[in-house]
Structure 1
């Protein structure tokens, strides 16, 4: 009898639990028809390990809304179906908490839309609930299924709310003023041009091979492009790699830059694969090494952090390398050639801030050292060498903590991204819009964003539709460009002949004077711009001194006739003497 009663009680308890679970399981938000959508995560469709809780293993996570939150452990999905009202850009975001590891650690999560992966997203541990954007997506009108936590996700994230709305797209109204206050006129002009086309057009670019690659045929990629499209890229990529203290030789990179800019009227961009000795501990400064004994990869014997210490051999070596580089840049400055300069590129490598994921030695000591290393290079070139023909371009990524690698607005003119298949995503011809807009957000839309390296060029129509206005694209050399697996020749032709893509023949003739009207030579005393000095100029000067007017039709220096740095009655006396013939030349300083 006791056993029977026990079984009955067990069955009743189980039945109550079943009904309890049924009643507390929410009715899924199967279809939302109006924007913005802001729903509790627990009201979405949950599957494969996602569960509604108020704590995890006894740990509270206060600050959530509703009656609980969704806990996704090692697997689990959250699905939301929405009716997209029109073809447009949309943003998906969530209030969430990644709770594993230390603050700053991150977990990869995958988002799918209509069954197609939109990429990997690294949600950081901030020790609290955060509003995390999964990015921006171009969607066509109709029913759309959104899944968070798709196959490949690492899980261990708490979700409170899910938000879906129109994307707030940037304006791309960039100040053309270079970061270098002493930038040359040509550099300022190029910045004006770049900012004028940014957000409306994409500039075509192509990296040349360096050293003696292609059996010395530096035009291989460019001839290929011309053969397939009838066009040439507006930007040519160069590398100062071979100007170094170790094995350096004259590969005529500087001469080719001069020819490309001054003769072919193009734009030059340059990176700097600067090498260090593989065995730096036994290296003697000034020693010549075979290139096989050198590397740009991290090496245990070269301590990158020591580059910031003037007492170290690493610092001395870096200064030698900078000197070799500066000599070439000074030649270009003398030729009035500005350069989109992208040194110390791809520093972060793969998702880290401590240097553990670095691909190059300059990133191997982590983000803090890298920022100071960048600033050291910037100040050394601008202040010690007087180089002011550089537009500074920094490579960044879009991992959870990538912005920590940003040197700061005062040291950067534009942000760049290097996009290759499988690193970290399989891109195809996508516009990489979420990456682009994430980089735009890094600087609050105050810096231009470029695709400084790539294999597959994004589809132009996708870039236009999605607002992924990369300033320029620039495929790496060889098969990165010429393999049909990377760039279909037909699509390459479409890209180069698109109305949205600027090619070499479409650059303005006055590119390096762009936006600056040609001013006549300074003529002292000519205040109305008629190229004579007469009583009309005398009247203007008198009225200016009496504060009846506050400007002339000439630069103010034209009124400083005694060169004392001010405009006052003494200048009026000088002009009167000139008009009366007492003096014959202006300016006149005793």
Structure 2
């Protein structure tokens, strides 16, 4: 059955003509980055890529181990998408916000790329005006760090440090590894210094455009596919209020977590994915569920009876769950966890693509990771 699924996926993948596809927002995107974006478009309808934050960095009862993954321990394969965090790189820290050494992170990124996986970054950036955490909303930070702001130079220094790190993440042939870059996530919430309660829509758009222009044009990072990821929204107007423009976005998505009321979660998720399909089509972008999950997964059939029935209805490019930080906070099951068997069934469903189905497709083309 798995071989049949992989073969069908390859047929669908190859049958989509490149002339029907749209290019990255960065017109100078590298060959591998451009090919990845085309590939992810071809996969629409063939399956939803499954991702996990810090998947090969650490998990339940292990950390930094080579060839380890809680997802793989249940399914026999890695996820298709691996998310990482840049937080603390702005302070020259050797570890990220979750304690994962950046040296280890970089190696895991390269390993994922070499097996044909896809890497993405978020950034819980500390407040550039005072060095406090991303959760510091005590001041209107955005106005102070955009061009002309009192702390603009401090913000640029943060970007310089992140760009230096990302520029050094290269494949075996010296090529820049393509990356999905997801800055300022959950921007329609109220808990980060870049959220809607701390800046106007125009201030936020200015921040976004400056950041992407700086990374592309000044730092020469043409391997970035940009993810615009909100949190709360109930209409197209809500979603688009702070949208920086099609020239600065490649993926549109949102973060949506499940809590005790799974029926409410499914209903809300269904509504938002339907809206996102319309938005993505209108703007020629790919849709994604950039963060989701159910803390400690207390429902044994949550994967196949709550999440799968909703996401399988839409043209969602990828779905990513949050990290496994130990037995008190995890979003993917581990051996012995009550939803493990259901997660295995979920991973084998034809609507999902994990690493085993992704690798044969060579999504970076002949010059990229294999």
For Structure 1 versus Structure 2, the TM-score category normalised by the shorter chain is 0.7 to 0.9
Paired residue for 2:331, among 481, 489, 497? 481
Query: What's the CA shift string for 1:204-250, capped at 9, x where partnerless?
Result: 11111799886771469963222322222111111111311375645
Relative to structure 1, the CA distance from residue 515 to residue 208 in structure 2 (aligned partners, 3 Å threshold; closer, same or farther) is: closer
Equivalent residue number for residue 512 of structure 1: 364
SS at match of 1:199: coil
Cα deviation code 1:89-134 (max 9, x no counterpart): xxxxxxxxxxxxxxxxxxxxxxxxxxxxxxxxxxxxxxxxxxxxxx
In the aligned structure 2, how far is the partner of 1:371 from the partner of 1:454? 25
1:463 aligns with 2:298: no
Contact 1:205 1:472 in 2 (8 A): yes
The question of whether the paired residues in 2 share the 8 Å contact of 1:245 and 1:320 is answered with no
Shift of 1:316: 1.2
2:4 matched residue in structure 1? none
Aligned to 2:216: 382
Q: Match of 1:494?
A: 345
Report if the CA contact (8 A) 2:57-2:108 is conserved: no
Q: Is the 8 A contact 1:210 1:239 kept in 2?
A: no
Determine if the alignment matches structure 1 residue 442 to structure 2 residue 274: no
Aligned to 2:36: 190
Contact 1:340 1:391 in 2 (8 A): yes
Q: Larger Rg: 1 or 2?
A: 1
Q: Aligned equivalents of 1:347 and 1:424: distance in 2?
A: 24
Higher strand share: 1
Determine which of 290, 298, 306 is the counterpart of 2:136.
298
TM-score computed with the length of structure 2 as normaliser: 0.76
**Structure 2: distance between partners of 1:471 and 1:272:** 21
The answer to whether residue 234 in structure 2 is matched with residue 399 in structure 1 is: yes
SS of 2:194 mapped into structure 1:
helix
Residue 294 to residue 213, structure 1, CA distance change in 2 (3 Å):
farther
Given that 2:251 and 2:287 are in contact with CA atoms closer than 8 Å, whether structure 1 keeps it comes out as yes
Residue 159 (structure 2) pairs with residue 322 (structure 1): yes
3-state SS of paired residue (1:455): strand
**Are residues 1:201 and 2:47 paired?**
yes
Paired residue secondary structure (1:183): coil
Q: SS of the counterpart of 1:257? A: helix
Match of 2:194 in 1: 362
Aligned equivalents of 1:423 and 1:373: distance in 2? 36
The answer to whether the aligner puts 1:271 opposite 2:159 as a matched pair is no
CA distance in 1, matches of 2:367, 2:92: 42
SS where residue 228 of structure 1 aligns? helix
Residue aligned with 1:373, SS = helix
- The equivalent of 2:81 in structure 1 is 235
Q: Secondary structure at the match of 1:432?
A: helix
In structure 2, distance between residues paired with 1:195 and 1:405: 25
- Cα distance in structure 2, aligned partners of 1:248 and 1:426: 42
Task: Tell me the TM-score normalised to structure 1 length.
Answer: 0.49
Range 389-398 or range 325-334, more displaced: 325-334
Cα distance in structure 2, aligned partners of 1:369 and 1:425: 36
Q: Distance in 2 between matches of 1:375 and 1:237?
A: 23
Aligned residue for 1:512, secondary structure, equals coil
Structure 2 matches for 1:50-69, cutoff 5 A? none
Unaligned runs of 5+ in 2: 1-18, 96-100, 295-302
Residue in 2 that maps onto 1:181: 27
Q: Could you say if the C-alpha distance between residues 425 and 382 of structure 1 is closer, same or farther in structure 2, counting changes exceeding 3 Å?
A: farther
**Alpha-carbon distance in structure 2 between the residues aligned to 1:299 and 1:430:** 31
Paired residue secondary structure (1:275):
coil
Alpha-carbon distance in structure 1 between the residues aligned to 2:271 and 2:107:
38
Offset from partner CA, 1:495-541 (integer Å, 9 cap, x none): 1111221111212353211799xxxxxxxxxxxxxxxxxxxxxxxxx
1:411 partnered with 2:245? no
| Cα 1:418–1:473 shift into 2, 3 Å | same
Once residues 504 and 409 of structure 1 are traced to their aligned partners in structure 2, the CA distance between those partners, rounded to angstroms, is: 30
1:258 aligns with 2:119: no
Contact 1:209 1:218 in 2 (8 A): no
Please state whether the residue corresponding to 1:298 is helix, strand or coil: coil
CA distance in 2, matches of 1:221, 1:344: 31
Change (3 A) 1:346 1:232: same
Partner of 1:316: helix, strand, or coil?
helix
Question: CA, structure 1 residues 256+232, in 2 after alignment: closer, same or farther (shift >3 Å)?
Answer: closer
Please give the root-mean-square deviation of Cα atoms over the aligned residues, in Å.
3.3
- CA drift of 1:490 comes to 2.7
CA distance in 2 between counterparts of 1:426 and 1:321 reads 41
* Separation of aligned partners in 2, 1:416 and 1:480: 22
CA separation of 1:329/1:246 partners in 2, compared to 1, >3 Å: closer, same or farther? closer
Judge conservation of contact 1:432–1:468 (CA < 8 Å) in 2. Answer: no
Aligned to 2:354: 503
